[in-house]
Structure 1
Amino acid sequence: MNSPTRFTLTEHSPALWRITFDNPPVNLIDSTLTNELNDVFTRAEESDRVAVIVFDSADPEFYLAHYDLSAADELDHVLAHPEEVHPFTALLTRLSKLPFATISSVRGIARGAGSEFLLATDIRFASREKAVIGQFEIGMSAIAGGGPATRLPGLVGRGRTFEMLYGGLDLDGTRAEQYGYVNRSFPDDQLNAAVDEFASRVASFDLQTIRDIKHFVNVATLRPDAEFKDQMDAFWAAVNRPAQQHVAKHLFEAGLQQRSDVERELPHWVTRFQYRSGSDSGSGHGR
């Protein structure tokens, strides 16, 4: 396996691995990250010894900002091949079914596809002060494509799922814990130690028992894979519409995907550029 370029892999022991996202400037998710994660997952499965993988970030401000929205050639491919399952959808489905424990240690911003990645892991721990989690896609005139409409109701309930997806607002670590989005939040200076202690404990147990637990919990909780393809298809269809392109254009001009106030306060910025049919799409005014 080639050395990854979007994260570092640390093998603390044969049973406990750590993936630390490191893709400046804001830890975007893209096809390269998807491919590199698949390579590590294959290696972990083939090792027959991995019991736990922890996912964290080298950047305390950005965990996984969102998907790279500048990949226009990707949209062309998706529209030309509607029968295919998008690679990111396939990655999340695979992540949820890996035969070992997966733990997210969330410090920094995890929005859009970043939030969807968290939802596909088994356990989520968060910094009380520095975790920022949200699905902002409605502000870009799109459905969230990575499956939160399917995964969130079982965690936070129907009403709070609508609150998150309709509102497009962020949760901090405390609110995410109250809603059930994360298992627990910790004071930021205690997060690393708490995650390390729990992950090491799980890694010390019998691997077959961990696999059995994962299998039966998945049987009880996972929804059909087809639901995820439909949501991703709806997202890419939205990307091809004028409303989404209007918002995206103005956000990129203001600093999207850069280390900027746009990325730090994205739920606020999307409301500034809302599209209205028949309005001046170049005006940059929302309402």
Structure 2
Amino acid sequence: MSAAQFDISEVSPSYWRVTFGNGPVNLMDPDTIDQLGELVGRIEDDPDLTVVVFRSETPGYFMAHWDFLADNSRVAAMRPGPTGLHPYLDNFVRLSRLPVATISEIRGRTRGAGSEFVLATDIRFASEKAVLGQFEVGVGAVPGGGPMARLGRLVGRGRALEILLGGDDVPAELAAAYGYVNRLVPDADIEDFTDAFARRIATFDKVAVSGIKKLVDVATLPADEEFAPGLGAYFATAGRPEHRPFVKLLLSKGLQQPDGIETDLGTAIGQLRQDL
């Protein structure tokens, strides 16, 4: 049995705090897909739950990105989820449409799949230690978890293309200025700030909270059919033979290790590409 990656603290019947932890840099992998699906199902089925905060206690990392060493054949073989989409997308679509408020408390690096996760939550608070980004273009891949559908609605077309085609790190201050996150909160204060905001929502009537969310969703969320082409493009482009030497170079320089190239991954990928 795989180790639990999502630790749930039931602060009250209406408020949960969920802490993600998976290795030294909080990678997402096939087990994450399975466990997130179970977690989303629990949230969907809880009649009292009104707000969920997602967070990390791994220094410097919220969700680093997808695990480059994961068994992708296992991922490709996964059966569709309740929406009819592949479970990776199904999780994010269902997460974004939950009848509860979801908040990401971001205090570290959140790129690629990690960025796709926080984009699927309702509200994103970031400390000055947060770094976001979609670096996939730098390794020859199209992002698969829906940022093409979500980012444009948040930051506008030009900035979405800047983030996706530039593939660079987006520091917290710039992310807040662009609308990638809701606001910047000092790292010393963000846990208390997020907790106070969540507790406030938890006091409100769930029917009102879910009703507001549902109507905002109608006006702002992408339709489900917008997501499948992106994942199809990811499966078609990720791991192509011509890009494997570059990924091996990244691994040799500390990719997926807390103190290696992972610290400034987006910037470093651009520099290494120019040096080739």
Does the TM-score normalized on the shorter chain lie above 0.5? Answer: yes
Residue 122 (structure 1) aligns with: 122
Q: How big is each residue's C-alpha offset from its partner over 1:33-91, in whole Å with a ceiling of 9 and x where there is no partner? A: 222222222222222000001001011301000011212x4247628999x84321111
Aligned residues: 273
Code of the aligned partner of 1:60:
P
Structure of larger gyration radius: 1
Match of 1:95 in 2: 95
Opposite residue 44 of structure 1, the aligned amino acid is I
Deviation at 1:13, TM superposition (A): 0.2
Separation in structure 1 between the aligned mates of residue 124 and residue 107 of structure 2, nearest angstrom: 11
Matched with 2:160 is 161
Aligned-partner SS, 1:265: helix
CA distance in structure 2 between the aligned counterparts of 1:221 and 1:106, rounded to whole angstroms: 22
Any conservation in 1 of the 2:21–2:58 contact (CA below 8 Å)?
yes
The residue aligned with 1:136 is 135
1:263 partner amino acid: E
Aligned to 1:278: none
* 1:77–1:46 CA distance, 2 compared to 1 (3 A): closer
- 1:11 matched to which residue of 2? 10
Which whole-Å deviations, capped at 9, do the CAs of 1:164-196 have from their partners, x for residues lacking one?
011111122211110011111111111111101
The yes-or-no answer on 1:78 pairing with 2:76 is yes
Alpha-carbon distance between aligned partners in 2 of 1:3 and 1:241, rounded to the nearest angstrom: 29
Q: Which amino acid aligns with 1:88?
A: Y
Change (3 A) 1:3 1:53: farther
Q: CA RMSD in A?
A: 2.2
Q: Matches of 1:159 and 1:203 in 2, distance apart?
A: 36
Distance change in 2, residues 1:263/1:3 (3 Å): closer
2:110 equivalent in structure 1: 110
Q: Aligned AA for 2:72?
A: E
**1:19 alignment partner, SS class:** strand
Question: What's the secondary structure of 1:102's corresponding residue?
Answer: strand
Aligned twin of 2:34: 35
Q: How does 1:54-73 map to 2 (within 5 A)?
A: 54-71=53-70, 73=71
Residue 229 of structure 1 pairs with residue 228 of structure 2:
yes
TM-score, normalised to structure 1, is 0.89
Q: Distance in 1 between matches of 2:79 and 2:194?
A: 41
CA separation in 1, counterparts of 2:168 and 2:225?
27
1:198 and 1:236 map into 2 onto residues whose CA distance is: 38
Structure-1 residue corresponding to 2:170? 171
Once residues 132 and 260 of structure 1 are traced to their aligned partners in structure 2, the CA distance between those partners, rounded to angstroms, is 15
**For residues 103-127 of structure 1, what are the alpha-carbon distances to aligned partners after superposition, in whole Å with 9 as ceiling and x for unaligned?**
0000000000001101000000010
Instruction: Provide the residue aligned with 2:200 in structure 1.
Output: 201
The whole-number CA distance in structure 2 between the counterparts of 1:175 and 1:77 is: 33
> Contact 1:4 / 1:36 at 8 angstroms: preserved in 2?
no
Distance 1:183 1:258, change over 3 A: same
Q: Give distance in 2, aligned partners of 1:185 and 1:270.
A: 26
Structure 1: runs of 5 or more not aligned: 275-284
Residue pair 2:126, 2:172 contacting (<8 A) in 1 also: yes
Amino acid at match of 2:76: V
Counterparts in 2 of 1:272 and 1:79: CA distance versus 1, 3 Å: farther
Q: Is the 8 A contact 2:52 2:101 kept in 1?
A: yes
Residue identity in the other structure for 2:102: T
C-alpha distance in structure 2 between counterparts of 1:114 and 1:22, whole Å: 12
Q: Percent of aligned positions with the same letter in both sequences?
A: 45
Q: Is the 8 A contact 1:101 1:122 kept in 2?
A: yes
